Chains A and B, each alone.
Chain A
Amino acid sequence: MNTVMNNGATVLKSSLLLMWSRYLLVFGGGVVLLAGMFFLNITQGEAGIGIQTLIDAFVAPQDVADHHVIRTLRLPRATMGLLAGAALAAAGTLLQTITRNPLSSTETLGINSGAFLAVNAAAVFFPAAFSSNSLIVAFIGGLAAIALVYAMAGGLTASPVRLTLAGMAVTLAIGAVSGTLQLMYEENTGRLLAWGSGSLEQTNWSGVRFAVPWIFPSALIAVALSRSLDLFELGDEMAQSLGQRVPLVRMTSLLLAVLLAAATVSVVGGIGFIGLIAPHLMRLIGIRRHLPLLISSMIWGAIVLLGADTLARMVADGSDELSAGAVTAIIGGPWMIWLAIRARKGGGHLQRSSDSSTLASRLSGRTPYPVLLMVLAVLFVVIWFLGISLGSLRLHISDILAAMAGGGDELTRNIIFNMRLPRMLVAAVAGAALAASGLLLQGIVKNPLADPSIVGVSAGAGVGALLLLIVLPHIHISWLPAAAFAGAFASAAIVYAVSRRSGMNPAILVLVGVAVSAMGSGIIQMLVIQAKIRASAALSWLAGSTYARTWEELWQLMIWPAVLLPVAWWLCRKLDLLALSDEVPTGLGVNVIRTRIWAGIIGVAIAAAAVATVGTVGFVGLIAPHAARILIGHNHRRLLPATLLIGALLLMTADLVGRLLFSPKEIPSGLVVALLGAPYFIALMRKSVARK
């Protein structure tokens, strides 16, 4: 301490020096690196063009094929990469500042997926209008998505974790709708797949010409706003007292960010993580003021994206393009993990959400617990009966009873016993398993927005399954559940291993889970594109499907919940204590960390078993425990049976609706769950926020 005081002057001087050398590195070095990356990028391609020809194409352009390739294919591609990288980085910087949230970006706040869904929907429903208005469409989609995220997270001042979770829930819901569209209109949107994962491919300058008039002015306004943005970091009140019109600046910045994202999404598709990585890198180097921060972020955002594209093309070796978006997701994941750990050190605390507790206190006690369970059980039987009798053939009650008694005609028996019954039961067990997993994970994370997918289970299972489907297509399909299970466990293990260093801190667990999931979906997208005409099989599995499930699959699935649920029930009491605080249970002799680890392992195992059987079904683990808590309150032992029933009900209903909606075409039940569940979930969150 003393030394520092004594040498104050020297320190100041050397820090000034340090600052200037930093600036030189960031700007000078950045520009040089960007130029190098740009050049490297345009050397790549299928036509096999030498360096000399490349240089000639600029200094002495001729009307030959190679020169045209460089000037009208590779140059626009690299330029688009530069623009997109800069735009996303600028958007990320703006979002991080106005949300005062280090984890904000157009990806984590759902803007990219909202824009993508809008463009996707427009491509299906208004193909003519779509081609000329894709930016407006993307802009509206992005804006709607972020509005939703804010509404769910509880307004403009939501905590980082809450905002990230809300962003993820919205992304999940939007992804489900996009997935439904892609499956239902396989031919119309199949082409959008490659673009959706972020491909920089350009065939002329029109993409650049389209994007520039939006990206340039937006970036300029952002730079012009930089002084106001500096004040923002002091807090709303301070900024207000200094004459800042906080709401205006916030609104403008938000619109700029969405516009920048929409301009890139509508040209190159969804590219994630650039907006997260670039501004952080700059803040890390020590750049605080927004003028240099915005400019340097844009330079380095462009470097990262061009680098990702260069890497993608190196790996792709000529044919079968790998998308830059997939690469940024794969390299962005570890970055986010690291950020999450740092954010913790900076004091990023997790707020305990009381959404459902306020609601719960209003509702619980009104209906006695046994009555509630009875109602759920009756509902279960009703849905079960409907599920047996309805389908593309309607079975009359007398036929069903006859078949149950061992009579009836063969067709009826076959339909009931080999088709409807096993798939309904698989749906019920898988739904219950996912719900139980959600309850356990919400218990340890102490956040009602948690879900099995946040610990990487879904993404990991997807990677495992797709590796089998696409990389080893000649292995028998019955290995699929095993591959998915292995993938789910592996990725959950990564999440745990990383979070363990922080004593299983809930906030870190969530953020690491989100990051690992994002990496997983990057790999999944990459594999789906490689799948070419096998893609539809992969897509339906990823969407989560109870289609044509068999008795064997039911038995395989049953083992896990049968063994683990009693243990879960035993752990429930400790979870009740965990909900209070970390100190109380420790005082009562409960090992907090060990409880979290065990509940986590069981939650992951149950969810992995379900996901291995029915694919990546989201939302059940999110909604079922949430709904149960509203009905029952916070006692975990009372919650568990209700949660199981609600989860089973949800997936069974989804199975039934998916069979009936567009019969004879079937809609994967995972998509139906998301379509049914997302509006409910959003409404619930809005309601609970309004109550606060």
Chain B
Amino acid sequence: MKTVNDALGVVEIKGVPQRVVALDWVYLEDVLAAGVQPVGAADIEGYKTWVKVKVAIGPDVQDVGARFEPNLEQIAALKPDLIIGVKYRHEKIADQLKAIAPTLIFDPFSPEETQDPYKEMEETFMTIADVLGKKDEGQKMLDNLNGMYTEAKEKLKDNKAGANYVLLQAFSDQNAVTFRIFTDNSLAGFILSKLGMTNAYKSDKLEEFGFSETSVETLTKVQDASLITMIQTDDEVLNNFMKDNPVWKGLTFVKENRIFALGGDTWPFGGPLSAEVFTERVVSVLGK
């Protein structure tokens, strides 16, 4: 019997759960990182589009519907012994989930956690690994990751381009382009600082999700840094909207060709497996 503190209180878990259902992508990833295949997960198709990590999700894992309203009957039918969800999506159905199986609900966006999302990521991952009886494997995963950061930092040491960066996601809607510029209190921001890099962008306020939504104008203030992008291939915002734009063309990082594309399936909100891929891609595009 284990007792775990989650975002909603204390959860008691008997034995080592064998049948896990993950209702959000980050916990799906955590379970996979601990070396366990879940029996069910929400929106597997979407996960495959947005999250590229090195551990594949097994073919037998059942889809239990959308992340925001997962199918309770489907979940119950899988007879799970552990369910993992996220507060902002699953708080309302926590009681129903608990009637099916012990349920862990995490809250990565609480006022405390949002200060240091990396610590939150590690702690949540270790909690999950521990519950699944994979504490040692989990610790090894995190140790490996830290070793990887040290190596990567070494490789990037002489890389002037990577010293100051701006990390960007971009989406287009009709003519309007929205940029998500990541702040220091994002998971990705923490990883990059472990690689010895400095975020050139500062928001006036503490961003709950670790990014500001803003327009191309903001980039004029940080143009001396290097631009690192994560953009979906079916939404080529920069090519479609920025290529001929004088503002864009005049930005120092464009002129000096310091734009580094990590790819749209690099997921900046994930767990250790995402962090691993993120770090590898940063090294491969910057460490030349």
Tell me the chain A residues, 125-149 only, with Cβ under 8 Å from chain B. Answer: 127, 134
A203 pairs with B250, CB closer than 8 A: no
List residues of chain B with CB within 8 A of the CB of A64. 250
A415 pairs with B73, CB closer than 8 A: yes
Interface centre among A203, A476, A477 (most CB of B within 10 A): A203
Tell me the chain A residues, 259-287 only, with Cβ under 8 Å from chain B. Answer: 266-269
With A269-B174, A320-B213, A664-B74 already in contact, 11 other A-B pairs whose C-beta atoms are closer than 8 Å: A68-B247, A68-B250, A204-B241, A207-B175, A411-B76, A480-B92, A532-B213, A534-B88, A536-B67, A536-B89, A540-B69
Residues on B facing A (Cβ under 8 Å): 46, 49-50, 63-74, 76-77, 79, 88-89, 91-93, 95-96, 99-100, 109-111, 171-178, 203-205, 207-209, 212-218, 220-221, 223, 234-235, 241-242, 244-247, 250-251
A665 pairs with B66, CB closer than 8 A: yes
Query: A354 at the A/B interface (Cβ < 8 Å)?
Result: no
A64 to B255, CA, bound (A): 12
**Distance from B276 Cβ to chain A, minimum over Cβ atoms (Å):** 23
Query: A498 at the A/B interface (Cβ < 8 Å)?
Result: no
List residues of chain A with CB within 8 A of the CB of B204. 317-319
B212 pairs with A319, CB closer than 8 A: yes
B88 pairs with A473, CB closer than 8 A: yes
Closest residue of chain B to A476 (Cβ to Cβ) is B91
Chain B interface: which of A32-40, A44-52, A335-343? A44-52
Closest residue of chain A to B232 (Cβ to Cβ) is A187
Closest residue of chain A to B183 (Cβ to Cβ) is A319
List residues of chain A with CB within 8 A of the CB of B209. 532-533
List residues of chain B with CB within 8 A of the CB of A134. 174
A391 pairs with B73, CB closer than 8 A: yes
**Distance from B94 Cβ to chain A, minimum over Cβ atoms (Å):** 9
Query: A686 at the A/B interface (Cβ < 8 Å)?
Result: no
Question: What is the size category of the interface that chain A forms with chain B?
Answer: 35 or more
A318 pairs with B214, CB closer than 8 A: yes
Known: A318-B204, A664-B63. A72 touches B95 (CB 8 A): no
B216 pairs with A537, CB closer than 8 A: no
B66 pairs with A46, CB closer than 8 A: no
Contact of A63 among B65, B173, B250 (CB under 8 A): B250
B250 pairs with A414, CB closer than 8 A: no
A191 pairs with B172, CB closer than 8 A: yes
Query: A25 at the A/B interface (Cβ < 8 Å)?
Result: no
Contact of B79 among A63, A195, A411, A533 (CB under 8 A): A411
Tell me the chain A residues, 526-541 only, with Cβ under 8 Å from chain B. Answer: 532-534, 536-537, 540
| Complex A-B: 19 CB contacts under 8 Å | A63-B246, A72-B247, A73-B216, A186-B46, A191-B172, A195-B174, A199-B173, A204-B241, A319-B204, A319-B207, A321-B214, A391-B73, A414-B76, A418-B96, A419-B76, A474-B110, A548-B92, A550-B96, A663-B71
B213 pairs with A319, CB closer than 8 A: yes
A187 to B91, CA, bound (A): 23
A207 to B172, CA, bound (A): 14
Contact of A321 among B68, B215, B247 (CB under 8 A): B215
Query: A673 at the A/B interface (Cβ < 8 Å)?
Result: no
Query: A393 at the A/B interface (Cβ < 8 Å)?
Result: yes
B244 pairs with A204, CB closer than 8 A: yes
List residues of chain B with CB within 8 A of the CB of A392. 71, 73-74, 77
**Distance from B288 Cβ to chain A, minimum over Cβ atoms (Å):** 27
Contact of A267 among B46, B73, B172, B175 (CB under 8 A): B175
A45 pairs with B217, CB closer than 8 A: yes
**Distance from B212 Cβ to chain A, minimum over Cβ atoms (Å):** 4
Cβ-closest 8 pairs across A and B: A201-B176, A664-B65, A191-B173, A195-B173, A664-B71, A319-B212, A68-B246, A68-B247
Contact of B73 among A193, A266, A419, A533 (CB under 8 A): A419
Query: A22 at the A/B interface (Cβ < 8 Å)?
Result: no
**Distance from B119 Cβ to chain A, minimum over Cβ atoms (Å):** 19
List residues of chain B with CB within 8 A of the CB of A267. 174-175
A372 to B88, CA, bound (A): 46
B178 pairs with A191, CB closer than 8 A: yes
A666 pairs with B69, CB closer than 8 A: yes
Query: A194 at the A/B interface (Cβ < 8 Å)?
Result: yes
A194 to B174, CA, bound (A): 10
B175 pairs with A47, CB closer than 8 A: no
Known: A319-B204, A415-B76, A664-B74. A203 touches B241 (CB 8 A): yes
